[in-house]
């Protein structure tokens, strides 16, 4: 089958389209013919070596498609089912072997490519606004990179929970996307903390959702209200250096947390019930999913270049040519 292979950490060029053997289907696994694989920022951290991973590998944590075969112990997923998954690696391929327990049924009303586009980020955004900092009506929250894959979902979810959303973006086009997703105010990155203070009569925001990291961290801390919550959930601009806890006191007894989706969907029940809520919101139209670009599987390197180059909005998909 065709797949993307990585043999050494490095830039996007290490994503090499290759002919590889189809994965074995273990007793607990299902074999999914991938309709689309989601491209996530974490794929770039794993590719570059910022996060550890075992090589060689077929990257990709997320995808959706039709089940072609099931392992001998699998009873709750059947051949022909349309499923999505966000456990990997192995999604940058025509076919992926996935533990049945980590598959989520895709309901009627949600296409496989939209499922691949929303599962990982939709689950994460759901965790961040409901659990990490539970958004309340009347809150003002700040969402960085408001037109990104995560950003558009966070703007929609936080505003539908009754928050006033302030977003940051780097271009006018992205600002307009963030506004359409529910952001009431959109700022550039330069001096955003002062602008946030001005917008909130000096108080600051209840929470900052920061997936940008190194370049925004100080301003995010400076944007919080007393006892506000800094939700640092990613590092698109690079990792945040070590933080002196005394800074959290000086900023107003604020909270700093670094959540990750994996800890919130550890069991099959947690994964499927949260995914069912996200998919239901997509199916009833209350959550819209922007697929910013589709790339052929063979062009995975271009997708990574565009994502890291800030040239994208919404979600990127890789589509096998089969
Ligand atoms: P995005 O689509 O948001 O792309 C990243 C965006 O970050 C860019 O488009 C850009 O938007 C902004 N950005 C600001 N500074 C930089 C920079 N120096 N280099 C690159 N981008 C920059 O990506 P995703 O939605 O895939 O992911 C967003 C974040 O969410 C990532 O940090 C990712 O790791 C994290 N994440 C964390 C999860 C978790 O479980 N903790 C799960 C899923 C995602 P602009 O041009 O508007 O500034």
Strand-pair category, 82-85 with 103-105 = antiparallel
Output the pLDDT for position 71: 98
* 172/273 Cα distance (integer angstroms): 37
Instruction: Please tell me the distance between residue 148's alpha carbon and the centre of ligand 1 in angstroms.
Output: 6
Q: Which three-class secondary structure state does DSSP give residue 136?
A: coil
Helices 172-180 and 149-160: crossing angle in degrees, nearest 10, is 40
| pLDDT above 90 for 83 | yes
Which is the closest atom of ligand 1 to the Cα of 151?
A: 3
| pLDDT above 90 for 104 | yes
Average pLDDT for 51-58? 95
Q: What is the CB neighbour count within 10 angstroms for residue 21? A: 7
Instruction: Please tell me the distance between residue 154's alpha carbon and the centre of ligand 1 in angstroms.
Output: 12
Which is the closest atom of ligand 1 to the Cα of 150?
A: 25
* β-bridge partners, 38: 62, 317
Average pLDDT for 16-37? 97
Q: Is 145 in the pocket of ligand 1 (CB under 6 A)?
A: yes
Instruction: Please tell me the distance between residue 217's alpha carbon and the centre of ligand 1 in angstroms.
Output: 13
Which is the closest atom of ligand 1 to the Cα of 41?
A: 26
Q: Is 147 in the pocket of ligand 1 (CB under 6 A)?
A: yes
Condensed to tens digits (0 to 9), the pLDDT of residues 216-267 reads 999 999 999 999 999 999 999 999 999 999 999 999 999 999 999 999 999 9
What's the CATH class of domain 136-258? alpha beta
Q: Is 41 in the pocket of ligand 1 (CB under 6 A)?
A: yes
| pLDDT above 90 for 322 | no
Q: Is 261 in the pocket of ligand 1 (CB under 6 A)?
A: yes
Output the pLDDT for position 193: 98
Q: What is the pTM of this model?
A: 0.98
Q: How far is CA 135 from CA 85, 217, 229, 274, 296, in A?
A: 27, 20, 11, 17, 38
| pLDDT above 80 for 65 | yes
Condensed to tens digits (0 to 9), the pLDDT of residues 144-186 reads 999 999 999 999 999 999 999 999 999 999 999 999 999 999 9
Output the pLDDT for position 88: 85
* 158/320 Cα distance (integer angstroms): 34
Output the pLDDT for position 62: 98
Instruction: Please tell me the distance between residue 313's alpha carbon and the centre of ligand 1 in angstroms.
Output: 10
Determine the residue of 172, 310, 316, 318 to mutate for testing ligand 1's pocket, defined as the one with the most ligand atoms within 8 A of the Cβ atom: 310
| pLDDT above 90 for 52 | yes
Average pLDDT for 119-131? 98
ipTM over 0.95: yes
Q: Is 292 in the pocket of ligand 1 (CB under 6 A)?
A: no
Peptide bond preceding 89: is omega within 30 degrees of 0, i.e. cis? yes
* 189/215 Cα distance (integer angstroms): 9
Domain edges within the chain: 2-119+265-319, 136-258
DSSP state letter for 128? I
| pLDDT above 80 for 195 | yes
Do 231 and 205 contact (CB within 8 A), yes or no? no
Q: Which three-class secondary structure state does DSSP give residue 32?
A: strand
Condensed to tens digits (0 to 9), the pLDDT of residues 5-15 reads 999 999 999 99
What topology is assigned to 2-119+265-319 in CATH?
A: Quinone Oxidoreductase; Chain A, domain 1 (3.90.180)
Average pLDDT for 69-82? 98
């Amino acid at each position: 089958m065709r797949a993307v292979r990585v043999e050494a950490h490095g830039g996007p060029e290490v994503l090499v389209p290759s002919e590889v053997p189809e994965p074995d289907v273990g007793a607990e696994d299902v074999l999914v013919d991938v309709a689309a694989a989601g491209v996530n920022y974490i794929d770039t951290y794993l590719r570059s070596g910022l996060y550890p991973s075992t090589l060689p590998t077929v990257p990709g944590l997320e995808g959706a498609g039709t089940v072609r075969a099931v392992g001998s112990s699998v009873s709750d997923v059947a051949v022909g089912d349309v499923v999505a998954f966000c456990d990997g690696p192995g999604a940058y391929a025509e076919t992926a072997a996935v533990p049945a327990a980590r598959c989520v049924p895709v309901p009627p009303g949600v296409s496989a490519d939209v499922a691949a586009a929303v599962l990982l980020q939709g689950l994460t955004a759901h965790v961040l606004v409901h659990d990490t900092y539970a958004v309340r009506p009347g809150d003002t929250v700040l969402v960085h990179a408001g037109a990104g894959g995560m950003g558009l979902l966070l703007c929609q979810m936080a505003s539908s929970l009754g928050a006033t959303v302030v977003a940051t973006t780097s271009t006018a086009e992205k600002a307009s996307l963030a506004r359409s997703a529910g952001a009431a105010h959109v700022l550039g990155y330069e001096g955003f903390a002062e602008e946030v203070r001005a917008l909130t009569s000096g108080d600051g925001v209840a929470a900052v959702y920061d997936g940008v990291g190194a370049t925004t961290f100080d301003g995010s801390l400076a944007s919080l209200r007393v006892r506000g919550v800094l939700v640092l959930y990613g590092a698109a601009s690079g990792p945040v250096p070590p933080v002196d806890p005394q800074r959290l006191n000086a900023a107003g007894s604020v909270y700093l947390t670094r959540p990750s989706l994996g800890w919130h969907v550890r069991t099959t029940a947690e994964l499927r019930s949260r995914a069912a809520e996200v998919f239901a919101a997509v199916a009833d139209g209350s959550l819209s999913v922007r697929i910013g670009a589709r790339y052929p599987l063979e062009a995975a390197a271009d997708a990574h270049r565009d994502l890291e180059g800030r040239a994208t909005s919404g979600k990127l998909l890789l589509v096998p040519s089969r």
